Amino acid sequence: MEIKEELKKMLTPARYEHSLRVAEEAKHLASHYQYDEKKAYLAGLIHDIAKDLTEEESKNWIENYNLPKELLEEKNKNLKHADIGAVIAKEKYHLEDDICNAIKFHTLGNETMDLLAKIVFLADKIGRKNLPEDLEIVKKMAYKNIDQSLKLCLEKQEKYLQQKGIKLHKDTKKLLAKLTKEL
Ligand SMILES: [Fe+2]
Ligand SMILES: [Fe+2]
């Protein structure tokens, strides 16, 4: 696959490895939920495509595609790769909207997430070597009830951030509230 060669150049070796693992996990989840496996694999593969861009490259994407300027702020250092990645997927690779959205939502989540976005979000967390115990539980749940697994994962994030005195992002909060109401 041509895109793999490009990804290899754009990402650090460790990030490329991570991307392959996430793609595999996304494919497994897709097969479990009778979703398009190829599409899930591709979305998982490229979800972090913008993570190793230089500051300059990130700035160019943000300016050229009218992304929110605050993405350039230090506090959004880890957030911008999701927004920029979605733009790269759309503009450079002409991928479908649902793949772009899955990339966009893979860090914070969003209440409009569809099955593909949920698959990528969870595959990013559970498609790793040597999972800690709490993520093992999230992984087991991902193959039973994907929404329940997502809820567990977000609650875990909330707790972790709380300990650091950081509040959950409003998008994540909305998603968690929606899941709590529905489940
Ligand atoms: Fe990411
Ligand atoms: Fe990732």
pLDDT at 67 over 80: yes
pLDDT at 175 over 90: yes
Q: Residue 104: its pLDDT value, please? A: 98
User: 124 C-alpha vs ligand 2 centroid, how far in Å?
Assistant: 5
Ligand nearest to the CA of 15: 2
User: 47 C-alpha vs ligand 1 centroid, how far in Å?
Assistant: 6
Q: What is the mean pLDDT of the chain?
A: 96
DSSP 75: G
Q: Residue 1: its pLDDT value, please? A: 66
User: 8 C-alpha vs ligand 1 centroid, how far in Å?
Assistant: 16
- For range 136-140, the mean pLDDT: 98
Over residues 34-59, the pLDDT tens digits come to: 999 999 999 999 999 999 999 999 99
Ligand nearest to the CA of 104: 1
Over residues 71-103, the pLDDT tens digits come to: 999 888 889 999 999 999 999 999 999 999 999
User: 106 C-alpha vs ligand 2 centroid, how far in Å?
Assistant: 8
pLDDT classification of 31: cutoffs 50, 70, 90: very high
Over residues 110-131, the pLDDT tens digits come to: 999 999 999 999 999 999 989 9
User: 23 C-alpha vs ligand 2 centroid, how far in Å?
Assistant: 10
Q: Which residues surround ligand 1, an ion (CB under 5 A)?
A: 48
**Residues 136, 117: Cα–Cα separation, whole Å:** 20
Burial 41-66 (b: 16+ CB within 10 A, else e): bbbbbbbbbbbbbeeeebbebbeeee
User: 180 C-alpha vs ligand 1 centroid, how far in Å?
Assistant: 24
In order of their start, the domains of the chain are 2-182 (1.10.3210.10)
User: 144 C-alpha vs ligand 2 centroid, how far in Å?
Assistant: 22
pTM score:
0.96
At how many degrees (to 10) do helices 146-163 and 170-182 cross?
140
